[in-house]
Amino acid sequence: MCQDSVLAMIAVENLTKDYAGFRAVQGISFSVQKGEIVGFLGPNGAGKTTTMRVLAGYLPPTGGRVSVAGHDIVAESLEARRHVGYMPENVPLYTDLRVNEYLAYRARLKGVKRSKVKERVESVNRLCHLDDVKHKIIGNLSKGYRQRVGLADALVHDPDLLILDEPTIGLDPHQIRAVRDLIRSLGERHTILLSSHILSEVEAVCTRVLILHRGRIEAADTPENLARLVQGGGAGVRLEVSCRPAEGEREFARLPDVESVHCCSEQEGWSVFEIASKAGRDIRDGIFSVVQKQNWRLREMSRLRASLEDIFVELTQD
């Protein structure tokens, strides 16, 4: 195992996982360093949840090696799991218990000293904004509050690593924003591996993303670097100018570093263009020169970057 992997919070080498003759995870390798918030993405059936369950100690790997905080997930399973807080996609809660009762029970199961249980329960209640419902029966709580209870459960033993599988599933936009802000704040003290189908949330929170497809890792980098990869190194531009579509397309296409010009709309003498550049070229100065030379008015000019959704579709389409 390389030195970087030894120091990583998560180190995965050639991980495979088989189900009855079907290989769900096909020899993947990656690492997550302390303090990172990493998005773990992939279409349904890509192997994300299987990989997260292996990391959390819920499933044994078929092959390869996995360590958490330097502890082998098979040979040192209990020690590795002490460092992990896992929130599955469908949080299994005891719905007949009150929030405080449930969290205290879970804290004791996870090895929190009896003298520290009350302190830890109060801490995660504050952190997850559960103080208003801490004496209520879980079965009477809304979906949003149940998700918060699941997150508090993952945090109650103060783990180094949080593994969150679809933490905002079923939540309304206000609840999603609250959970996003909470995850961002948790990243100041914890390493986080986050799986979500809401790609805008991943893009807003995560410093790096891993994209899994058919059991293999297709990409692992920052959203910015993946955007450059998908765009071929070019930097597209969107602008709104006072000209006719045909005039703009003709003049902008003459620039030597322009790959393509597309007029998106025209209204009341204003045309909106999306212009793609050749790899590694910045065409903004050239565009501005054309606008000045033609004596057009410029209302807006901004750089275009592939969204995480664009990247995801590009790398996982069949």
User: At residue 5, does pLDDT exceed 70?
Assistant: no
Q: Give the integer Cα–Cα distance in Å for 100 and 102.
A: 5
What is the arithmetic mean of pLDDT over 161-170? Answer: 90
Q: Which domains does the chain have, with CATH numbers?
A: 3-228 (3.40.50.300), 233-316 (3.30.70.3190)
- Segment 182-215, tens digit of pLDDT: 888 888 889 999 998 888 888 888 989 999 999 9
What is the arithmetic mean of pLDDT over 227-240? Answer: 71
User: At residue 257, does pLDDT exceed 50?
Assistant: yes
What is the arithmetic mean of pLDDT over 155-165? Answer: 95
Residue 154 CA: distances (Å) to CA of 117, 221, 302: 14, 26, 42
Least confident of 2-6, 34-38, 142-146, 177-181: 2-6
- Segment 51-108, tens digit of pLDDT: 999 999 999 999 999 999 999 999 999 999 999 999 998 888 999 999 999 999 999 9
- Sign of the four-CA dihedral 240, 246, 247, 248: positive
Give residue 248's pLDDT: 94
Give residue 90's pLDDT: 86
Least confident of 42-56, 95-109, 161-175: 161-175
Contact 227, 256 (CB under 8 A): no
Model confidence band, residue 318 (pLDDT cutoffs 50, 70, 90): low
Give residue 1's pLDDT: 47
Among residues 113, 133, 205, the alpha carbon closest in space to that of 164 is found at 205
Percent of residues, the chain, with pLDDT higher than 70? 94
User: At residue 3, does pLDDT exceed 50?
Assistant: no
Q: Give the integer Cα–Cα distance in Å for 123 and 191.
A: 19
